[in-house]
Amino acid sequence: MNVALEGEIVRRLKPVFGYLHRNHEKIGENATYLSSMPYTDRLDYFCSMTNNWAYALSVEKLAGIEVPERAEYLRVILAELTRLQNHASLLGFLLNDMGAWGTPLMYAFREREKILDLFESLSGSRMMCDYMRFGGCRCDTPPGWMEYARKLVDAFPRFIEELEKLVVGNEVVIARTQNVGKLSAELAINAGITGPMLRACGVNYDLRKVDGYGFYPRFKFRIPLGEHGDTYDRLMMRVLEMRESVVILKQAFEQIQDGPIMNPKVKIRAFRPPVGEAYGRIEAPKGELGFYLISDGGTNPYRYRVRPPSFINLTVLEDLNLNPHPY
Amino acid sequence: MIGTGILKGMAVTARNFVGSYFEKDRLITVQYPEERSPLPENYRNFPFLPYDGDDPHAGLRCVACKICEKECPPQCIYIVKSEDKKPDYMGKPQFYPKVFDIDISVCMSCQICVEVCPFEAIKMDKVFELSRRERFDALLLRKSDLAKSNEYYHSICPTDAAGVDAKLAGAVAAAAKKKAAAAAATPPGAGSTSAAGGALPTAASA
Amino acid sequence: MEALEQVKSRIEAAVPGVKIDIVQNPGPANQPSLLIDNEHAPAIAQFLRDDPALRFDFCSNVTGVDWLDRTVKKTVKVKKSIDGEEKEVTETTEEHFPGYLEAVYHLYSMTQKHGPVVIRMRTPNRADGARLPSLTPIWRSAELQEREIFDLYGIRFEGHPDLRRILMWDEFVDHPMRKDYREPDDYEYEPTPHDDVLERTKQHYPARPQLDGAEEITATDLH
């Protein structure tokens, strides 16, 4: 970041990007459709399951592939588990940066580790899951997985409550987050802010409700909304969303049935979708994650575009920092 | 009153600190390398080539079709096809890989090679303590490093290995049945030609 | 939401002199898009954003696409009379389509919760510095994404407040996402190069000595 400061007050801020740029899109255009799947894990290693889902969803749209019921339920379960661990770690990192040091972060990582154990026993890898496929998921759950997951989700609210106790009434957190980094709803919409950051401004826009992809319309859950659009609201948005994720997960465990996990019509080798283009998007934990694909009928996509949530959320970084400071 | 929020937080940390001595849920780490948590059966790390029987060359299932080389996302597999052929598990003469290298400094353990392989010839290993002092040749696994026995595969992934064995045995049985049916259908005079197109009967046990 | 034809006719009524085509999408996704003319693009975008029935206030995805020049060969059988005799002759006609760079915008409405409407703009050619009007004044979400297109495809967006390279460094000359981009030969050295990577490696690096007994190097040797 190039920052002009006056004391501790930011007068100007220009983010400088590109230090981690590896031209993922070029790699995607030079790889087959299937080969891009493990690369999507690496877009955001906290949320590899949702990245997989967004890519799988786009290819399914592009090629018109149906997904079996059990696979859809598993996708919802995995996406919500991802949301839990992403939001928990985010709160931990925020408190870490605020001076609480590693303690809350380690609590968050402890809970995350349990979820990653689930991912590992299911997909073989903690973070680079590479689990979803066009037309379903790669393999079925190992025996005992669902019971372990159910137990974990039942025990998770205790952790959310503890985290809330650490955050909610804490005077330091309140002083350093309330009225800081305020964002108006108009600017948030215009600047394409998505995810919890948008909802903290009070805009009711969650793709799980709006697009109703996957089996989300089958679940009863609420969308938490903020009021002030400041850092405190954004922080609380994560706590509340974790609670809703637990609600969704409990329903999904009730509803999931045995069945096939992969659409048998889908070819794995030399997969060629018909000519056309598709844009698929999901509500990833960090915001709207979209994949825009153009197929020319070959084994590689002609154009492979990732619409990243965090990169676009950073559009307003300067505006957030320039707003009147409480001191 | 100011400070109550911080005190509440302190109570949480105290509960976590004390709890870590009594509750397994509050302390999930183990003291590696003295202690190790068991690996789940699905755990995967770097591919290997299982072979049947005792001879890594004769029992290797790979037929050098190069599908995995093409599909490998980071392009870490390098295969050179042989000029001659050797019998596979069905006894059918097939090409084999003269060179089969996997560069594990590039490999990202995504197991796409396992998924696309039509011959059950490449599987995921479970070794992870692979640090080396040298970055290039020590991390380039040759065919001799990659070939591991089917028993080893059974020891790391019993369920999958049993499934693969059943599938291959089924294929052998189906081929034998087909051959027997073909032999029964052809008149005795023309029997000698039918063996040429089918499996070689003696090599099936190799 | 209204059908795309209806949106098209509404725009034509609202913005005089505008030229819009519908680009069909043959795939199962069935998401046709509007090809808008560059001159009226800001006015069209303004209309799409502010019209009370449409209200496309959220520009989700902005991206570039590179379409190379292409030649389509057609072989037709024609009947011709040669020396008074009628004969069937095959004639090959070549049709040349010039390439272009394209900017694609995916619009959604957060207030009406509908979408998407996909709009596209095309440059007349693939020359470096081909120009398109910027839609950042209408949707700020295009700010970083248009910079990205400028960086990776080389489309200049007129009216963009801060058009600089974003992902590549400022001294970089080419546009890496173009289809005819040639990467530099020495960018990567894989220990096991093969095929064309091997050829390039041979050109750029001397043969590496085989390190026998590499495992024997001790920690003291390294210090």
Look up the ipTM and state it.
0.91
> Contact B105/C191, CB-based, under 8 Å?
yes
Distances (CA, A) of A167 to A107, A122, A160, A179, C85: 13, 33, 10, 16, 95
DSSP SS3 for C20: strand
| Residue C124, min C-alpha distance to chain A (Å) | 20
pLDDT on residue C215: 44
Q: How far apart, in whole angstroms, are the C-alpha atoms of residue A128 and residue A111?
A: 18
- A162/chain B closest Cα distance in angstroms: 6
Categorize the per-residue pLDDT at C193 as very low, low, confident or very high, splitting at 50, 70 and 90: low
Cβ partners under 8 Å of residue C216, min gap 6: none
Residue B200 binned pLDDT confidence (cut-offs 50, 70, 90): very low
Contact C215/B76, CB-based, under 8 Å?
Answer: no
Instruction: Assign residue B168 the CATH number of its domain.
Output: 3.30.70.3270
Tokens matching residue C42: 């800001």
**Is B184 a domain residue?**
no
Higher pLDDT, C76 or A208: A208
The answer to whether the predicted template modeling score (pTM) of the entire model surpasses 0.80 is yes
For the ranges A268-277, B44-53, C157-166, C181-190, the lowest mean pLDDT is seen at C181-190
Put residue A13 in one of left, alpha, beta given phi > 0 → left and psi -120 to 50 → alpha.
beta
pLDDT at A209 over 80: yes
Rg (CA), chain C: 26
Q: How many CB pairs under 8 A join A and C?
A: 108
Angle at C79 between CA C77 and CA C81, to 5 degrees: 145
Contact A281 C25 (CB under 8 A): no
Read off the pLDDT band of C197 (50, 70, 90): low
What's the pLDDT band for A146 if we cut at 50, 70, 90? very high
State which residues form the domain around B166. 47-172
- B199, pLDDT greater than 50: no
pLDDT at A79 over 90: yes
Cα of A260 to nearest chain B Cα, Å: 17
Question: A interface toward B at CB cutoff 8 Å?
Answer: 31-32, 34-39, 103, 107, 110, 113-114, 117, 120-125, 128, 130, 138-139, 142, 155, 162, 165-166, 168-174, 268-269
Length of chain B measured in residues:
206
Q: Is residue B142 part of a domain?
A: yes
Q: Which chains touch A (3 or more CB pairs under 8 A)?
A: B, C
Reply yes or no on whether the pLDDT at C189 is more than 60: no
With respect to residue B118, please indicate whether it lies within any of the assigned structural domains.
Answer: yes
pLDDT tops 60 at residue B87: yes
Q: How many domains does chain B have?
A: 1
Indicate yes or no: CB of A171 within 8 angstroms of CB of B112.
no
Query: Tens digit of pLDDT for each residue in A226-246?
Result: 999 999 999 999 999 999 999
Contact A119, A125 (CB under 8 A): yes
Q: Is residue B75 part of a domain?
A: yes
Lowest-confidence pick of A168-172, C132-136, C161-165: A168-172
Q: Nearest residue on chain C to B136, judged by CA atoms?
A: C191
Domain of A279? 31-291+304-322
Q: Which pLDDT score is estimated for C209?
A: 55
Q: Is residue B192 part of a domain?
A: no
> pLDDT at position C71, please?
82
CATH superfamily for C4-67+101-207 is: NADH:ubiquinone oxidoreductase Nqo5 subunit (3.30.460.80)
Give pLDDT, residue B196: 41
Model pLDDT for residues C24-65, shown as the tens digit of each residue: 988 888 889 999 999 999 999 999 999 999 999 999 999 999
The bridge status of strand B77-87 relative to strand C114-122 is: unpaired
DSSP A257-302: -----B-TT--STT--PPSEEEEEEEEETTEEEEEEEEE-SSSS-S
**In terms of CA atoms, which chain A residue is nearest residue B73?**
A35
Residue A5 lies inside a defined structural domain of this protein: no
Cβ separation A169–B42 shorter than 8 A? no
Residue in A closest to C49 by C-alpha: A190
| pLDDT reported for residue C140 | 93
What number of C-beta contacts closer than 8 Å exist between B and C? Answer: 33
User: What confidence category does residue C210 fall into, taking pLDDT thresholds of 50, 70 and 90?
Assistant: low
Q: For position C190, what pLDDT does the model report?
A: 55
Asked if A306 contacts A43 with a C-beta cutoff of 8 angstroms, the reply is yes
Whether the pLDDT of residue A15 is over 50: the answer is: yes
The answer to whether B136 contacts C208, with C-beta atoms less than 8 Å apart, is yes
Confidence of residue A111 (pLDDT cuts 50, 70, 90): very high
Q: Whole-angstrom Cα distance, residue B143 to residue A19?
A: 37
Q: Does residue A14 contact residue A1 with C-beta atoms inside 8 Å?
A: yes
Q: What distance lies between CA A179 and its chain's CA centroid?
A: 26
Q: Is residue B159 part of a domain?
A: yes
Distance CA B93, CA B108 (A): 33
pLDDT in tens, A182-195: 899 999 999 999 99
Q: Which residue of A has its CA nearest to B110?
A: A38
How many other CB atoms are there within 10 angstroms of residue A43's CB atom? 19
State whether A64 and C29 contact (CB < 8 Å).
yes
Residue A99 placed within a domain: yes
Helix (H, G, I), strand (E, B) or coil at A2: strand
Is residue B194 domain-resident? no
Of the candidates C142, C83, C130, the one whose C-alpha atom is nearest the C-alpha of residue C102 is C130
Average pLDDT, chain B: 84
Residue B70 lies in a domain: yes
Mean pLDDT of chain C: 83
Contact at CB, B11 and A165, closer than 8 angstroms: yes
Q: Domain total for chain A?
A: 1
CB B122 within 8 A of CB B114: yes
- Which ranges in B80-157 belong to alpha helices (H)? 112-116, 143-146, 150-156
**CATH number of the domain encompassing residue A200:** 1.10.645.10
Mean pLDDT to the nearest integer, A82-102: 91
With 80 as the cut, is the pLDDT of residue C85 above it? no
